[in-house]
Amino acid sequence: MKNKVLSILSFLLTGIILYTLSNLQATYRAAIDDSSKVKTVYLTFDDGPSYKITNQILDVLKQKEVKATFFLIGNKVEERKEVVKRIYYEGHSIGLHSYTHKMKQIYKSEDNFIEEMKKQKMQYIML
Ligand SMILES: [Zn+2]
């Protein structure tokens, strides 16, 4: 039951993201046409990488020529290095979003927080 709910939520979230990205280019063009009202949109994606969803997002970003920032979870990075490399080589930014994503553990102390970030940073260096 839990997996079914997660699948449905994942599907809905993917749809929302893809819909947003498909409209982004038109919005950006409209902003350029009226230079006095130029605004910048920063796209960020948290809690990845995932093979399916992150690759779908990357496909749309590439098609629309839009860059984004991906805040990745360290313990997912190890098994999905190819997705991380794709993010990097396609010109997107990568941010730290902890190693475990276990909030109680991360925010238990300052040292835990720093350790989580250091552990994840080391993963990127070793890719
Ligand atoms: Zn998160």
Q: What is the mean pLDDT of residues 114-127?
A: 86
pLDDT of residue 78: 86
DSSP letters for the chain? -HHHHHHHHHHHHHHHHHHHHHHHHHHHHHHHHSGGG------EEEEE--HHHHHHHHHHHHHHT---EEEE-HHHHGGGHHHHHHHHHTT-EEEE--SS--HHHHTT-HHHHHHHHHHHHHHHHH-
Q: What is the mean pLDDT of residues 115-119?
A: 92
Q: Which domains does the chain have, with CATH numbers?
A: 2-126 (3.20.20.370)
Going from the Cα of 105 to the center of ligand 1, the distance in angstroms, rounded, reads 14
pLDDT digits (tens, 9 = 90+) for 32-91: 566 677 888 999 999 999 999 999 999 999 999 999 999 999 999 989 999 999 999 999
Mean pLDDT of the chain: 82
Going from the Cα of 104 to the center of ligand 1, the distance in angstroms, rounded, reads 13
pTM equals 0.70
Going from the Cα of 10 to the center of ligand 1, the distance in angstroms, rounded, reads 14
pLDDT of residue 12: 47
